[in-house]
Amino acid sequence: MKRNIILQAGALALAVAMTAMLAGCSSQETSSSTTPENAASTGETATGETADPYAYLADFSYSDGFDDNGYLKDVTAGDYVTLPDDYNAIQLPAGTDTVTDEEVDSYIDQNVLASFATPEQVTDRAAEMGDSVNIDFVGSVDGEEFDGGSAQGYNITLGSGSFIDDFEDQIAGHTPGETFDVTVTFPDPYQNNPDLAGKEAVFVTTLNYITVQTTPDLTDTWVQENINPFLQLTSVQALKDYVREQITYTNMSNAIYSQLLDTTTFAEFPESATSYFSDYILYDYYQYAATYGLSLDSMLSSMGYVDADTLLQQAQSTIENNCRQALLVQAIAEKEGIVVDDATYDANVARVLRTDQVQGYEDAYGKNYLRANVLMTLVMDQLVDNATVAAE
């Protein structure tokens, strides 16, 4: 359970763990071409007559799993959870509440300034592993070009493993403007295109440019112009103080949650909760598949899953962790009499979401899902306030 540090206005994303997060990021160039790793693979449209067993997901709502108090719908957590006696007075290891200047600066560099980085094209040096590069390539086997083996203006980070073995390594050392051959051998078997399995391919490759990200200078003016105005941070020092406070909160809440998991006993999970968190995982995939006219199973098959059941089997630990977290938070709320009724919701939702523009989020996620976010925050606020940290 991690409280995210929210620093700028942007698109809302609510994690499965029900923590609200506002994030902004710079746009990235994309390419619709295939790569040598997935060359010649194609999707299958959902044109069959068989009824879609996942059609019900079209009506899924993030609020489906929760009631008007932010609790799991029709679930009494106390029936499934046995809390330790000291759940509301956790003692944390020494140093849990200590955050160094270096940690604050590192967070700002990596998570704040980096999100405002702008790309710059570099053409006066050789590419190195770890560089982001833009390339054109045309692939052939025995002199014959093959479907899906060509692209123009493709962006790739060298060393990412996005392409088949050795492809990216052979780009390193070349300078923008150079055209050269990249010779690779497709693996055998090769699921994406069995016809290419084990065959040697030559990709005539042009390195167009190297992309480096330039981050802005951190100044009071920059903070005033770019940091979420809801936070009312007007200087570099105010930003650093805020980040320090949030990292401290995150460290303490993570430590508390970890201890509670170790000392709390869970019975079997309610079926309604596991069903909800399963649908939560499937929903994004379903929406994506529908956008391209695919069935959910067809799209998942193209991604390497056999079907939706296989995806859920692999996500079982995530589903169980989400159940544990929701039940644990609710069990404490039940003990402490914490509910997110209308008055509590209105008093806290803007603080939890870090914005006073709440209506759009209610439209997207539903009030009850946001109530669950508020509930989690209120419970963790109380646990952090009541925790003690051992002396150094």
Hey, where are the domains in the chain? 11-26+53-114+219-389, 119-214
pLDDT of residue 266: 97
Give the start-end residues of each E strand in 70-199: 81-82, 91-92, 118-122, 132-141, 144-157, 179-185
Listed residue (167, 169, 172) closest to 149, CA to CA: 167
pLDDT of residue 8: 31
Rounded to 5 degrees, φ, ψ at 325 are: -65, -50
Question: How far are the Cα atoms of 35, 53, 67, 77, 275 from residue 31, in angstroms, in the given order?
Answer: 10, 32, 42, 47, 36
Q: Which two tokens stand for residue 39?
A: 């060359």
pLDDT tens digit at each of 392 positions of the chain: 333 333 332 222 232 222 222 222 223 333 333 344 444 333 344 444 467 899 999 999 999 999 999 999 999 999 999 999 999 999 999 999 999 999 999 999 999 999 999 999 999 999 999 999 999 999 999 999 998 889 999 999 999 988 888 899 999 999 999 999 999 999 888 877 888 889 999 999 999 999 999 999 999 999 999 999 999 999 999 999 999 999 999 999 999 999 999 999 999 999 999 999 999 999 999 999 999 999 999 899 888 898 999 999 999 999 999 999 999 999 999 999 999 999 999 999 999 999 999 999 999 999 999 999 999 999 999 999 999 999 98
pTM for the full predicted model = 0.74
User: Which architecture does CATH list for 119-214?
Assistant: Roll (3.10)
Task: Determine contact, residues 181/204, Cβ cutoff 8 Å.
Answer: yes
pLDDT of residue 234: 95
pLDDT of residue 195: 87
pLDDT of residue 193: 83
Listed residue (184, 159, 155, 156) closest to 169, CA to CA: 159
C-alpha to C-alpha distance for 17 and 2, rounded to whole angstroms: 9
